[in-house]
Amino acid sequence: MAYWGGNAIAVHDIEQALMGTSLGMDMQRGVSVHGGHRHHLKAINTIRRCGSIAAAVDQGILQSGVMYECVKNQVPFSLAGSIRDDGPLPDTQMDLLKAQADYAHLIEGADLILMLSTMLHSIGVGNMTPAGVKMVCVDINPAVVTKLSDRGSLESVGVVTDVGLFLSLLVTQLAKLTGEYARV
C-alpha cells in the first residue's frame, strides 16, 4: 500500500488534526473560527519546527489524521509539490523530477489505485501507471473522470460523486469484510 498526494492534502489533514479546522473553518460546525485564517500556516510551521511529519508523530504533536495513520502504519507516501503550495511542508518534494521519480517508485507493484478528488495528481499518476493496473477515479466533476480516460488511462473506472460520500460508503463496506478478506 502507498499514498500519493500534494502539499494540500497533507496541510489540510494536519490543520484538521491539530486545530479541528480546514482553512479556518470548524469542521464540526461548518463556520469560520476567530483567527482561523492563521491555522493553515500554523499547521505548516508546527511541522517545520518538528522537522518532518514523521518527527511530529514521534514527538506526539500529530496524533490523528491521514498523515498520522501513514506514519503509524508505515504506509510510504510521496507529496509532490506545485508552484501554488503554501509553506511547503518539509516532506513536500518541490523538485518535480524527483517527485515524479518518487511517484513512479511507489506505483511499482500496485494493482489497484484509488484516485480521490484531485485532477492534478490523478492525471499525473494515470500517465505513469502501466497498462493493466486498475484505477478508480472519484470526482464530483464528470469532465475530470472523462479527461483521465481521454489522456490514455483507459483502464480507469470513473465514479462521479462526492468524495466524502464515497469514502464513508467504502469504510462501511470494508468493515463488513471479515476473515481472510480483512487481512488482504
Ligand X SMILES: NC(=O)c1ccc[n+]([C@@H]2O[C@H](COP(=O)([O-])OP(=O)(O)OC[C@H]3O[C@@H](n4cnc5c(N)ncnc54)[C@H](O)[C@@H]3O)[C@@H](O)[C@H]2O)c1
Cβ distance to ligand X smaller for residue 13 or 106:
13
Cβ distance to ligand X smaller for residue 70 or 138:
138
The cell numbers describing 94, all together, are 518541490
Q: CB of 104: closest distance to ligand X in angstroms?
A: 19
Cβ distance to ligand X smaller for residue 56 or 118:
118
Would you say 27 and 51 are in contact if contact means Cβ atoms under 8 Å apart? Answer: no
Would you say 122 and 139 are in contact if contact means Cβ atoms under 8 Å apart? Answer: yes
CA distances from 156 to 125, 163, 170 (A): 11, 16, 18
Which residue do the cell numbers 511541522 mark?
Answer: 47
Q: CB of 66: closest distance to ligand X in angstroms?
A: 14
Q: Which residues bind ligand X (CB under 6 A)?
A: 6-8, 11, 82, 84-86, 117-121, 139-141, 144, 162-163
Q: CB of 141: closest distance to ligand X in angstroms?
A: 3
